[in-house]
A and B are shown apart, each in its own frame.
Chain A
């Protein structure tokens, strides 16, 4: 591998780290300006002033903000995310299970949706402007246009309540057999697939169509290649950068943007975990989850960037 490429990649990663650092400051500031205070939220409506004061003292909420930031950032760098204010449990430990659940669901949704979207995109290009293209685009756009909670409720109504094929609540737990687990996430994974499908499919279609205007495609046609071979061999490799980009965006969404689906299917993932802790003003947990989400987003985007660099022959073979 030649040095310019290594340098480019190193640059991307360094930028990513810098960005993460900036995000950490934003997250910290953001959590400081949330209204209300932790002690009040933990003890709820039924809190007496004395209980509040006792709790505030024991949580160290009376220290200045910059000291709390430094303490926190220092901990994160050394792998210590702190302890949750509300339950007193180690955050890294309790996030672990939730993160795994989120990744499990995202993985299976991606395994279904990414190949499906790309294949449908290729088919749509192959039969562009014909009835098949229209059908694929129409269905995909329809599924995206429906809000995700509506798709979720529709799936629950038919598959869980009416036909009772799949469970309507996707509570998964440690030690659950693998197939049981897959059965439990069938509905949320389907809902997520329907949500992200159209974006990836349409972008695949658009990116390839864009390439199809090129002169070398015409050459390939004149050579007498079959239309699908032209798309597969000549158009698709050249359209890979934008496709990877949109795939990564959607993967990031599958990890960080699924709160609604988690709530509907009662799936114990990161989103619900975050919302619970925001409601309780459990700042250390909110910060930790925010940082993890930012890291996921940034690293997936770095991967997309790097893939685009590697897919570009001009960058792979510098003069």
Chain B
């Protein structure tokens, strides 16, 4: 049977058999629709990319206030579109390994304080100029000088100077950082002519597509850039991103064939979407996670027993099933999961009302604990909070829930109130995740976690070029956060996208949604 299916799928891919006919014959041979579809995809991938056509994505996360200036990006649509028209020095691949992009190779001094990137030659910007090390230096300057409004300012803080030297660019760091190359994959740090200083919103980069349509919050479009330097991406002639913030409208647009790929399929409708002919759900485990954050320096959360009680009082399995509908995995009260390099498994904390009650009693706290939540904290946050309230009640802990308006939640509640619901997107490395939110001096230390030993280990690990030693350090740091931190992590959420019948070449990439952000460049329109 499978030989015949193989044969049929090859016919279908080469256009000798219509897709519909193929699915019909496959069904006659006893294959399920999902299996037949996946056969078709495998055959299509083996058949190789198809050039031409238009590929359209319908996405949540765009607004009329967006801009083409990479420094301003903080939401999905501008960032995702940016990945198609601009490139960074390096790119993290689906397995978490750093791959060369605009830098051909890189290396560090023995103390990890000086990093040298060899810049690729012969790469053209969309305006016809050739990319030079001077452009790279200018880009880094624009995102790191004191007047910068760039979202990358935080990660650029540790860089002392950036200088061009022949065909290389040399980064001198204030402190050692073994992870610096990973920082260069940040989407803000797209290399632009003269760093984009002349006209920040010009939209000129080196990516496979040049920007042709910018109706922010409505539609963004690109056209294949003839002078693009690599041939393993940029297959469609044209790409388009349509902003569809309403989930129902987004799904309908995919079903109606007006777009080929959509992001953020809601977990609760995944089962329904799966049944639509031609539509494939593309879900991949990522580093993003949902959190309940308690300030370790504010009463009553300054008592570690109370924090432990709250950690034991949470039924993580239940939340994964009821909030994520199984499209995710349980968290373990650290921001790190197996998607990170150098991850070490740690004993899983489970729902244990007895231990919760024990620690709660030991903490000496009485009365209720106020937990703030909101629709925007994460999808399903209000429901998740209520489930948490019920499981905590079984341990004799009264959670009082306050539902805050979504408008203003990030400026008035998150990182201000002592106990609230929130989410974190992943970071490429453990160092970045911990430096962003758990280092005592971090701006977003949203759990007010001040632990000298942890800080020391973080800095030590950063300078450590020996992987085994680093791994051990990260394992110990994970244990500290798990035992003493203010973060309660119920779950890591999958990225759930969906593709229509015409999309070829999709492969899972958990760095970000939409194939790590490269869906429109790496996929093609099937004939």
Contact = CB atoms under 8 A, between A and B. Distances in A.
Contacts of B258: 160, 167-169
A41 B63 CA distance: 13
Contacts of A37: 411
Given A161-B252, A266-B243, A266-B244, A51 B215 contact: no
A42 B78 CA distance: 13
B249 A48 contact: no
Given A36-B408, A51-B149, A280-B65, A173 B215 contact: yes
A283 to B, nearest CB: 12
Contacts of A58: 149
Nearest to A159: B256
A282 B74 CA distance: 16
B201 A276 contact: no
Interface string B220-254: 00000000000000000000001111101100110
B153 A45 contact: no
B170 to A, nearest CB: 25
Contact of A157 (B151, B242, B252): B252
Nearest to A265: B249
B67 interface: yes
B249 A86 contact: no
Contact of A49 (B147, B201, B257, B443): B443
A46 interface: yes
Interface string A248-281: 0000000000000001111010001100111110
Interface in A32-51: 34-37, 40-51
B252 A156 contact: yes
For A37, A87, A264, A277, the residue with the greatest tally of chain B CB atoms inside 10 Å of its CB is A87
Given A45-B414, A169-B253, A266-B242, A88 B407 contact: no
A45 B444 CA distance: 9
Interface residues of A, number: 49
B150 interface: yes
B154 interface: yes
Contacts of B259: 169
A210 interface: no
A98 B218 CA distance: 11
8 contacts: A46-B151, A54-B146, A87-B64, A88-B201, A156-B252, A167-B258, A173-B213, A268-B219
Interface of A: 34-37, 40-51, 54-55, 58, 84, 86-88, 94, 98, 153, 156-157, 160-161, 164, 167-169, 171, 173, 263-266, 268, 272-273, 276-280, 282
Given A37-B411, A86-B65, 19 more contacts: A35-B408, A43-B151, A45-B414, A46-B154, A48-B443, A54-B149, A87-B66, A87-B216, A88-B201, A160-B252, A164-B256, A167-B258, A168-B249, A168-B258, A169-B252, A173-B213, A264-B249, A266-B218, A266-B253
